[in-house]
Amino acid sequence: MEAIGTGAAANVSSETAKGIFHQVKRHIRYVIFYQKIVENFEQKHRKLIAKRTSVQQDVDVAERNGEKIKADVLDWRHRVEKVVTEKEKKVKDLEVKAKTKCFFGLCPNIESRYQLSRKAEEAAATFDELIKDCQFERVGYPDVPEPIVHSPYRV
């Protein structure tokens, strides 16, 4: 009976150790691979900016054709503007901190690199969501004027 309890406890502790190891590995990855994570952020940022420009071109064409712009397109553009400026500023501020050295310039600033990596990864995920949401068939719809109804009765 003791062997069963010991085996179950060993199994639980083994699973706990695996979970802790994965958490630690993920956090260490932020420090070690921070440049790669920042490069991924910059790539996603460029892709989102290109999508934003493409949608803006479609909006310009639709407006020239006298169409009204769909609400989901306007909402997407608003979200993109807000996210791009907010995330870009945070990451750029952290990037400056991450390049500074600590301990009289002898070692890298690990805390700043960690924060930079986390914010860059979060921003890249947000950019991915916005890029995925940019699946518009059309950005505008025809603006049809209301029909004029003539009443036989004059007031």
Do residue 10 and residue 48 come from a single domain? no
Q: In this structure, are 73 and 4 located in the same domain?
A: no
The reply to whether 3 and 55 lie within a common domain is no
Domain count for the chain: 2
The kind and range of the H/E element at 114 are: helix 110-133
- Helix pair 71-99, 34-64: axis angle to 10 deg: 150
27 and 73 together in one domain:
no
What single DSSP character describes residue 4?
A: H
Domain for residue 149, yes or no? no
> Residues 6 or more apart from 87 whose CB is under 8 A from it?
45, 119, 122, 123, 126, 127
pLDDT tens digits, one per residue of 60-85: 999 998 899 999 999 999 999 999 88
- Which residue did the predictor score with more confidence, 99 or 85? 85
pLDDT at 34: 82
Question: Does residue 10 form part of some domain?
Answer: yes
Other Cβ atoms closer than 10 A to 154: 4
Domain presence at residue 147: no
Q: Per-residue pLDDT averaged across 127-134, rounded?
A: 92
Query: Which residues constitute the domain of residue 134?
Result: 34-138
pLDDT band at 106 (very low <50, low <70, confident <90, very high): low
Query: Quick one: pLDDT at residue 4?
Result: 54
Q: What is the pTM of this model?
A: 0.73
Q: Which residues pair with 66 in a beta bridge?
A: none
The residue type found at 46 is: R
DSSP string, 34-85: HHHHHHHHHHHHHHHHHHHHHHHHHHHHHHHTTEEEPHHHHHHHHHHHHHHH
pLDDT digits (tens, 9 = 90+) for 31-58: 888 889 989 989 999 999 999 999 999 9
Within a domain: 122: yes
